[in-house]
Chain A
């Protein structure tokens, strides 16, 4: 009896000690998490909730906010002027996204070309990756100079030598967006090539060997081995491209400021204008919420696909 109770006592003491240790560990763990959690709380979670709420307010700085329920969303989707402006920004963004498939096609071709063991492959890879490395603001300045509307602008001088009329490029409402797309393709290529190359190197080589034995030419091999086995990579690049297009801001701010005639006002620039030029915080928040939902859906689709999709189309 006596022995039993002393056993029980040590057992209780042991459990208490374990519990105390566990509590101590929990405290220590939260101390470790504290810096990250604090920043996320103040600059991610709180702002996200704040935007959700502010979307229901009319809040034109410096005036005080008033609750107007869904009127901001009504303005963006129903109102004659508002919906026209928002729709225009959305259409511009879709137009801007035309760069994604062009970029993917070119990047895939270059990646296939780069996927061999020859001297100086690394050098070429570096050349293609250089634009991706450099800051978008600096690159945009260089391209403004390339697109210079006078005859000494590089692109215009090439047109003259080819016997074609010179263009005003970024100042031409018809050409401004294609100009931005061309620069975007040039800059984004390096990143896509690296991702495509990683995907290509994951395809087992014996598949090509057995295909060759079966008499498949390179086009067959591309169609029936490379493309299907690369589809997860392709899909990843596509989604990232769409999300980045929704965010595109720097090149537009540096090169066109949304002009001429608003043809390069994509959705991110539209949001910036409402928030930091017109100071309509409520309306800007509503735009941000719509953008957030689109991005969220795209991200979730991407997670689903990456999990579910096993290579073959």
Chain B
């Protein structure tokens, strides 16, 4: 009680209280950083271990106790990985498939979204419901029949088998429709007066206006297909048609395989492109997830 009285009486004790508060928040911040550092280390620890192992020579990989920083840095593992397995081909396959799916999705989603957002037609409500209903059909229930269709089409071990089933996307249509709806009607009227057709209006006016939505959609599509596993696993048999994920899986699951330095080098190569992509567009990416809840 008396202390409190002091605080309000003298200028000096007031400032000391201020200082003690500042001190307390300083301590809290230090503590916060300490806790965060430990947690963040746990989060990235497997990555660090992967990098560390990928740089170790064969004898150092199998020593106990394990060292985090290799004694002799050995980049040979990366060379060996490329020699042992056609990773260049896998990179090409993964990149081609992910790019084609992304481009295909952007085109098909833009067209459909434009129709739903800016055109009046018979059966619109029903069609939109139909598109949205596809999000409730889980991939498992379509897996076996889709595989049989691909088999009937003779598309096993082909790029079209890896690409075509994924170039329609209900979430993409939905998000782009929302974006197209925000474009004012006056723009469309003006375009019409100038003799601009629908496709031209979509391409020249609408697409540039919804670039952020398109970018988010492109990112999700690319990531989802770069990381895809189950579908490429079942529709590819020949080695040269495997994507990176599948190639890596077969590479490390060879009977009695023990070359962990090489395996970690290969894994490192598989995840590096997406990590680079992530660091370049990190902000828009996290915002995209926070606002849509979507993940590739």
Q: A32-B111, A138-B245, A145-B263 are in contact. Are A292 and B137 (CB under 8 A)?
A: yes
Determine, out of A90-98, A122-130, A204-212, A220-228, the stretch whose residues face the partner at the interface.
Answer: A122-130
Q: Which 7 A-B pairs have the closest CB atoms?
A: A47-B145, A39-B168, A47-B142, A29-B121, A135-B227, A198-B290, A32-B115
Residues of A within 8 A of B245 (CB): 135, 137-138
Instruction: Flag if A157 contacts B139 (CB, 8 Å).
Output: no
A216 to B134, CA, bound (A): 47
Determine, out of B6-14, B185-193, B206-214, B271-279, the stretch whose residues face the partner at the interface.
Answer: B271-279
Mark contacts of B114-151 with chain A using CB atoms, 8 A cut-off: 1 yes-contact digit, 0 otherwise. Answer: 11000111101001001100111111111111111100
Instruction: Flag if B144 contacts A284 (CB, 8 Å).
Output: yes
Residues of A within 8 A of B141 (CB): 47-48, 51, 288-289, 291-292
A-B contact pairs, 19 of them (CB 8 A): A28-B121, A29-B120, A40-B170, A46-B145, A46-B149, A47-B142, A48-B145, A124-B39, A133-B274, A138-B267, A141-B263, A142-B46, A144-B252, A145-B264, A152-B66, A195-B290, A250-B230, A295-B138, A296-B138
Q: A36-B173, A292-B138 are in contact. Are A29 and B145 (CB under 8 A)?
A: no
A141 to B267, CA, bound (A): 7
A165 to B56, CA, bound (A): 26
A142 to B226, CA, bound (A): 18
A: contact size bracket: 35 or more
Residues of B within 8 A of A240 (CB): 293
State whether the Cβ of A271 lies closer than 8 Å to any Cβ in chain B. yes
- Which one, A114, A128, A154, contacts B66 given CB within 8 A? A154
- Which one, A35, A129, A250, contacts B168 given CB within 8 A? A35
Instruction: Flag if B229 contacts A133 (CB, 8 Å).
Output: no
A198 to B223, CA, bound (A): 22
Mark contacts of B41-73 with chain A using CB atoms, 8 A cut-off: 1 yes-contact digit, 0 otherwise. Answer: 011101101100100000001111110000000
Q: A146-B46, A194-B286, A247-B138 are in contact. Are A133 and B278 (CB under 8 A)?
A: yes
Instruction: Flag if B43 contacts A186 (CB, 8 Å).
Output: yes
Interface of chain A, main secondary structure? helix
Instruction: Flag if A29 contacts B49 (CB, 8 Å).
Output: no
State whether the Cβ of B35 lies closer than 8 Å to any Cβ in chain A. yes
Residues of A within 8 A of B42 (CB): 186
Q: A25-B121, A35-B112, A195-B293 are in contact. Are A281 and B264 (CB under 8 A)?
A: no
A198 to B293, CA, bound (A): 10
Q: A39-B167, A130-B44 are in contact. Are A51 and B29 (CB under 8 A)?
A: no
Additional A-B contacts beyond A45-B134, A142-B49, A194-B290 (18; CB < 8 A): A36-B108, A36-B173, A37-B131, A42-B149, A43-B142, A116-B32, A127-B43, A137-B227, A138-B245, A143-B46, A145-B50, A186-B43, A236-B293, A246-B140, A275-B147, A281-B148, A289-B141, A292-B140
Closest residue on chain B to residue A42 by CB atoms: B149
Interface of chain B, main secondary structure? helix
- Which one, B64, B122, B279, contacts A157 given CB within 8 A? B64
State whether the Cβ of A15 lies closer than 8 Å to any Cβ in chain B. no
Instruction: Flag if A110 contacts B131 (CB, 8 Å).
Output: no
Residues of B within 8 A of A131 (CB): 43, 46
Residues of A within 8 A of B253 (CB): 254
- Which one, A37, A128, A154, A289, contacts B43 given CB within 8 A? A128
A253 to B233, CA, bound (A): 10
Using a CB–CB cutoff of 8 Å, the interface residues on chain B facing chain A are 29, 32-33, 35-36, 39-40, 42-44, 46-47, 49-50, 53, 61-66, 107-109, 111-112, 114-115, 119-122, 124, 127, 130-131, 134-149, 164-165, 167-168, 170, 173, 198, 223, 226-227, 229-230, 233-234, 245-246, 248-249, 252-253, 260, 263-264, 267, 270-271, 274-275, 278-279, 282, 286, 289-291, 293, 295
CB distance from A181 to the nearest CB of B (A): 15
A83 to B56, CA, bound (A): 49
Residues of B within 8 A of A198 (CB): 290-291
Instruction: Flag if A138 contacts B137 (CB, 8 Å).
Output: no
Which chain A residues in 269-308 approach chain B with CB under 8 Å? 271-272, 275-276, 281, 284-285, 288-289, 291-292, 295-296, 299-300
CB distance from B202 to the nearest CB of A (A): 9
Residues of A within 8 A of B165 (CB): 39, 42-43
A68 to B13, CA, bound (A): 89
State whether the Cβ of A161 lies closer than 8 Å to any Cβ in chain B. yes
Instruction: Flag if B134 contacts A40 (CB, 8 Å).
Output: yes
- Which one, A37, A48, A127, A284, contacts B44 given CB within 8 A? A127
Residues of B within 8 A of A143 (CB): 46
CB distance from A139 to the nearest CB of B (A): 7
Instruction: Flag if A50 contacts B145 (CB, 8 Å).
Output: yes
A243 to B146, CA, bound (A): 21
CB distance from B115 to the nearest CB of A (A): 4
State whether the Cβ of A26 lies closer than 8 Å to any Cβ in chain B. yes
- Which one, A154, A236, A295, contacts B49 given CB within 8 A? A154
Residues of B within 8 A of A142 (CB): 46-47, 49-50, 264, 267
Instruction: Flag if A129 contacts B286 (CB, 8 Å).
Output: yes
Instruction: Flag if B252 contacts A288 (CB, 8 Å).
Output: no
Which chain A residues in 160-188 approach chain B with CB under 8 Å? 160-161, 186
